[in-house]
Amino acid sequence: MIQVDNKIISLDVFEKHFVCDLNACKGACCIEGDSGAPLLKQEEEILDDIYEKVKPYMRVEGITEIENQGVAVYDADGDLTTPLVNNRECAFVTFENGITKCSIEKAYLDGKTDFKKPISCHLFPIRIKEYRDFDAVNYEEIKICKPACECGSKLEVPVYAFLKEPLIRKYGGAWYKELLEAARTLKR
């Protein structure tokens, strides 16, 4: 583990390689698992505010779930998440040429909103657990991301480099510079 400010970072974040390969995995991370995307309470409020702007990008099934349950639900573990369609896929999922896409991100890319997507989605495969005195920043290795690991290894892109934008979004540019210094120190 490496500490940068009050963030405790798993060595896997530095040592593992990762570059999403959507043509191989088809965006399985949006349709696999027991729950929807983890949400922060303020993200639930944002999703409520932007829902009408995102709705045109959504599938009918997702709209139905959102209108029945709201933009966020509590899962079996008591965590705030996006609702699921068919107990499987995030309600905000849409498909393009057989690849899973995020309707929230599509609205963002079209300039309809300034919210890109939930930070948990943006940071994936990093998962953050917030404690009172520190954040635990961990790499989550799952089978569906094997193509991303292979692609990252081939391109020699460590997890922290692939996730530069969302890490800066979460913790800021100054913190990310300290993270880079920690990475350089580890390489020595």
Residue type (1 letter), 30? C
Q: In this predicted structure, what is the pLDDT of residue 9?
A: 95
Residue 96 in any domain: the answer is yes
Confidence class for position 29, pLDDT limits 50, 70, 90: confident
Range of the domain at 63: 28-121
Residue type, 125: P
pLDDT for 60 beyond 80 = yes
Q: Please give the DSSP secondary-structure letter assigned to residue 144.
A: G
Polymer length of the chain: 188
Q: Considering the domain boundaries, does residue 114 fall inside one?
A: yes
Verify that 32 and 116 share a domain, yes or no.
yes
Q: Are residues 33 and 117 in the same domain?
A: yes
Q: Based on the domain organization, do 136 and 111 belong to the same domain? A: no
Is there a domain that residue 23 lies in? no
Q: Are strands 93-96 and 99-102 parallel, antiparallel or unpaired?
A: antiparallel
First-to-last alpha carbon distance for the chain, in angstroms, is 16
Residues 34 and 107 in one domain: yes
pLDDT score recorded for residue 35? 86
pLDDT value of residue 173: 96
pLDDT at 8: 92
Per the structure, how many domains does the chain have? 2
149 phi-psi bin (left φ>0, alpha ψ -120 to 50, beta other): alpha
Boundary residue ending a domain (121, 137, 156) = 121
